[in-house]
Chain A
Amino acid sequence: MKSTTRRDFLKMMGMTGAACLACAAPLSASTGPAGESETAIAMLYDATKCVGCKACMAACKRVNMEQNNLSYEYLPTDGDKLWDAPKDLSGDTRTVIKLYKESDTRFSYVKHSCMHCTKPGCVSACPVKAMTKDPVTGVVAYNKNACIGCRYCQVACPYNIPRFQWDKALPQIVKCDFCKDTNLKAKGMPACSETCPAGAIAFGKRTDLLAEAHNRIKENPDRYIPKVYGEKEVGGANHLYLAAFPFQKLGLPELKEESPAAFSEHIQHTIYKGFIAPVALYGTLAAIALRNKKKQEDLGHGEDD
């Protein structure tokens, strides 16, 4: 969709009145097509601006350490334990900066963290509502007090985002929640985006950021590949990416637009709608079994049955 038509659309929405928008918001936030929620908050990471200083990683861990029971990850060569040096997302790390090197002169950093999907697999999978999506902000958050540690969310996430604390006796799942209870609450934005010295992590309303992303591509077509990652992947996400290289090279998977979570729910709902099918199955089977049992008794085999 072109950003101009989007703005027209927004204007129109404004005219129909804020009250109306407020009423429709919770609904559209969870069911809107391709993540076009009007109230969702989002993050736009521009890989071409990132300088790889990892200040965001440090800030993320500092701010969320306690709540997530995180530890520092030292290299074996770092005897003095000076540097936190996680290789990847882990049970101790919610966001990570990686380097993709195409040649000695051409390279790109990339930041990995939760995509805050519009139709999140983790939320759909979790049996005990430990993963939830806020219907207004669209933030996908984790509640360790409900989590049973089944790790179905890990199976269900197309980006392999949720991580488990494999080495702890009392483990939990660890993933980005836009600093929902920490920095976002205290300072109005996630710690990474607040800290970034290069302005690579923009934070705001999804609709605005999406328009901004398309604008950047339009104004600098040589700088970017013409795609906003997270706009449509498995139904869209609230974490958007711009980059100079194809996203698969940066370790972001190539995904279809359909959401497996939505498909799974569709099948499950078809089978179990209103619990009619199971009850009908039970009723039918009971009728048949009772009739057969009676027949068998009449044959004289079930005297003492």
Chain B
Amino acid sequence: MGSHHDEYQVQPGKILTRPFFILLFFVLVGLALIAYRFFAGVGAVTGLSDGYPWGIWIAYDVATGTAFACGGYALALLIYIMNRWKYHPLIRSAILTSVFGYCLAGFSVMVDLGRYWNAYGFFMPSRWQGNSVMFEVALCVMSYSTVLIIEFLPAVLYTLEHSKWKWVRESSHWLYARLIPDTDALRNGLTNVSKAAGHLQVRLDKVLIFFIVLGITLPSMHQSSLGSMMIIAGEKLSPLWQTGFLPLLFLINCIFIGYSTVMFESILSSFGFKRAYEVHELSGIARIVPWVAGLWMAIRFGDLIWRNQIPTILTFDKNALFFLLEVLLIGGGAFMMLSRKNRLSPRLLFLSGALLMLGGGLYRFNVYLIGFNPGEGWSYFPSVAEFLITVGIIAIEILGYLTLVKIFPVMPNPKKHFAEEGEEMVEETAGQVAPGGVYAGK
């Protein structure tokens, strides 16, 4: 975002690596099963029933997956609203993750919809149903996906502008005699594309901030509504989760999950790509996490006490155990980050991020699936095919991320921002980690 382009760099390296092909395999399996679903019906590939009409495609891909994709939202909140610009270098990779998370949640929904060919109804005002929470979620998620793509455009335009078009030239060379009779025209065409990209970039930079703000407003709306969505399930949802505070809890939940994903993903990709860990930035983010998670816990327990549900926990039945697991994971992950020393350890930053994602994700899973009980005689467990489709969709996300960071300037540029951050460095981290950071790998 912005044209602070030397903040970011293209990750060097080959695109067609071994992980690439392994992921591709899962993608293809998932896509084949999706194709089968369209011929044989939703029932043929899922464990769903009339009692459990929503399974992991909704509970994971949509309700949990979009929270994992809230890194872009949570960071934008921090940078543009809380005025912490030192986190700016982290935002592009977070936005890229968000683009995939949201677009693929939309894709999952299209697989899940029984009468997908009627989905155009969302664009017909005569069919809008303002009372429906899902209507609000759907419109918001569609708009936000678009906003995310716009927010990512600067990286694409930059590449288009500065590209030498080597691969186009090479392939045109190969095709020369057959298809492209006029290389000059091609070269002119490509120069024009680059010029246009440069042009557009300047324009986009001027208005980008308004999209960024939209990118903060929309998730605030639909993430809370994802919580409201289950209020109508009434007594089918266990009292451990059914409350009028669902929207507020979902909103706060996605913010701490957002920061956790930034921690998790940054450490993981630094490790994988053998880059310097962004410990300075991450420790600053990690300092916020316990407060957000603590606020969430306070509301969660306050609500349970107010509704007299503590005895429900003490029954230690299935729901109570999942509740305890959720609280332990979130509490554990947040508690870890209270200590300054822990916040400087890449390993613990990673662990805490993972715990908070698991716990925060489990909360959503509990609301949508585990705490949901339509009555006697119904049960649900995802079928193998259903599970593989979700795996395929996750594989698309990782594959896309790994590929695009090698094409577009997405990753923070270590030289640039460590030098620049030198004097701005938070007091607590200064002097403890040498500029240049801790290096991963051997």
**Chain A residues at the B interface, C-beta cutoff of 8 Å:** 89-91, 121, 124-129, 144-152, 154-156, 158, 160, 162-173, 234, 253, 255-256, 260-261, 263-265, 267-269, 271-272, 278, 281-282, 285-286, 288-290, 292-293, 295-296, 301-302, 304-305
**Chain B residues at the A interface, C-beta cutoff of 8 Å:** 2-5, 38-44, 48-51, 53-54, 80-81, 83, 85, 109, 112-116, 118-119, 121-122, 127-129, 131-136, 138, 205, 209-210, 212-214, 216-217, 220-221, 224-225, 228-236, 244, 247, 374-375, 378
Instruction: Please give me the 7 A-B residue pairs with the lowest Cβ-Cβ distance, nearest first.
Output: A149-B114, A166-B43, A260-B234, A149-B115, A127-B135, A151-B53, A154-B53
Instruction: Kindly provide the distance from the CB of B139 to the nearest chain A CB, expressed in whole angstroms.
Output: 9
| B41 and A124 contact, CB distance less than 8 A | no
| B122 and A292 contact, CB distance less than 8 A | no
Residues of A within 8 A of B81 (CB): 285, 288-289, 292
Instruction: Kindly provide the distance from the CB of B176 to the nearest chain A CB, expressed in whole angstroms.
Output: 39
| A124 and B50 contact, CB distance less than 8 A | no
| A260 and B233 contact, CB distance less than 8 A | yes
User: What are 23 A-B contacts with C-beta separation under 8 Å?
Assistant: A89-B50, A124-B132, A127-B129, A127-B138, A128-B121, A128-B128, A129-B127, A148-B119, A149-B118, A151-B114, A166-B43, A167-B44, A253-B235, A256-B234, A260-B234, A264-B232, A268-B225, A278-B217, A281-B217, A285-B81, A289-B209, A293-B209, A305-B205
Instruction: Kindly provide the distance from the CB of B307 to the nearest chain A CB, expressed in whole angstroms.
Output: 14
| A304 and B118 contact, CB distance less than 8 A | no
Residue in A128, A160, A168 whose beta carbon sits within 8 Å of that of B375 in the complex: A160
Instruction: Kindly provide the distance from the CB of B93 to the nearest chain A CB, expressed in whole angstroms.
Output: 19
Instruction: Take A90-B50, A282-B217 as given contacts and tell me if A155 and B40 are in contact as well, using a CB distance cutoff of 8 Å.
Output: no
Give the docked Cα–Cα distance between A158 and B44 (Å): 26
| B121 and A156 contact, CB distance less than 8 A | no
Residues of A within 8 A of B135 (CB): 127-128
Give the docked Cα–Cα distance between A293 and B85 (Å): 9
Instruction: Kindly provide the distance from the CB of A73 to the nearest chain B CB, expressed in whole angstroms.
Output: 14
Residues of A within 8 A of B210 (CB): 286
Residues of A within 8 A of B121 (CB): 128, 146, 148
Residues of B within 8 A of A172 (CB): 114-115
Residues of A within 8 A of B116 (CB): 148-149
Give the docked Cα–Cα distance between A289 and B132 (Å): 31
Give the docked Cα–Cα distance between A167 and B46 (Å): 10
| B80 and A289 contact, CB distance less than 8 A | yes
| A125 and B127 contact, CB distance less than 8 A | no
| A125 and B134 contact, CB distance less than 8 A | yes
| B85 and A164 contact, CB distance less than 8 A | no
| B136 and A289 contact, CB distance less than 8 A | no
Instruction: Kindly provide the distance from the CB of B106 to the nearest chain A CB, expressed in whole angstroms.
Output: 13
| B234 and A144 contact, CB distance less than 8 A | no
Give the docked Cα–Cα distance between A117 and B240 (Å): 27
Complex: chain A residue closest to B120, CB-CB: A148
| A169 and B2 contact, CB distance less than 8 A | no
Instruction: Take A146-B121, A158-B234 as given contacts and tell me if A285 and B213 are in contact as well, using a CB distance cutoff of 8 Å.
Output: yes
Residues of B within 8 A of A290 (CB): 209
Residues of B within 8 A of A281 (CB): 217, 220
Instruction: Kindly provide the distance from the CB of B218 to the nearest chain A CB, expressed in whole angstroms.
Output: 9
Give the docked Cα–Cα distance between A272 and B53 (Å): 28
| B134 and A127 contact, CB distance less than 8 A | yes
Residue in A145, A164, A269 whose beta carbon sits within 8 Å of that of B118 in the complex: A145
Residue in B51, B131, B213 whose beta carbon sits within 8 Å of that of A289 in the complex: B213
Complex: chain B residue closest to A269, CB-CB: B131
Give the docked Cα–Cα distance between A6 and B358 (Å): 56
| A155 and B233 contact, CB distance less than 8 A | yes
Residues of B within 8 A of A158 (CB): 234-236
Give the docked Cα–Cα distance between A171 and B115 (Å): 7
Give the docked Cα–Cα distance between A305 and B132 (Å): 41
Instruction: Take A166-B41, A265-B131, A293-B80 as given contacts and tell me if A151 and B220 are in contact as well, using a CB distance cutoff of 8 Å.
Output: no
Residues of A within 8 A of B119 (CB): 148
| B233 and A267 contact, CB distance less than 8 A | no
| B133 and A125 contact, CB distance less than 8 A | yes
Complex: chain A residue closest to B137, CB-CB: A127
| A163 and B113 contact, CB distance less than 8 A | no
Residues of A within 8 A of B80 (CB): 285, 288-289, 292-293
Give the docked Cα–Cα distance between A272 and B138 (Å): 15
Residues of B within 8 A of A165 (CB): 41, 114
Instruction: Kindly provide the distance from the CB of A101 to the nearest chain B CB, expressed in whole angstroms.
Output: 16
Residues of B within 8 A of A263 (CB): 231, 244
Residues of A within 8 A of B50 (CB): 89-91, 154, 160, 162-164, 166
Give the docked Cα–Cα distance between A15 and B294 (Å): 62
Instruction: Take A125-B134, A128-B127, A289-B209 as given contacts and tell me if A148 and B4 are in contact as well, using a CB distance cutoff of 8 Å.
Output: no
| A121 and B232 contact, CB distance less than 8 A | yes
Give the docked Cα–Cα distance between A162 and B41 (Å): 17
Give the docked Cα–Cα distance between A146 and B135 (Å): 13
Residues of A within 8 A of B230 (CB): 155
Instruction: Take A128-B129, A169-B38 as given contacts and tell me if A302 and B83 are in contact as well, using a CB distance cutoff of 8 Å.
Output: no
Instruction: Kindly provide the distance from the CB of A127 to the nearest chain B CB, expressed in whole angstroms.
Output: 4
Residues of A within 8 A of B128 (CB): 128-129
Give the docked Cα–Cα distance between A149 and B114 (Å): 4
Give the docked Cα–Cα distance between A256 and B235 (Å): 9
Give the docked Cα–Cα distance between A160 and B53 (Å): 10
Give the docked Cα–Cα distance between A295 and B209 (Å): 14
Residues of B within 8 A of A302 (CB): 2, 4
Residues of A within 8 A of B214 (CB): 282
Residues of A within 8 A of B235 (CB): 158, 253, 255-256, 260
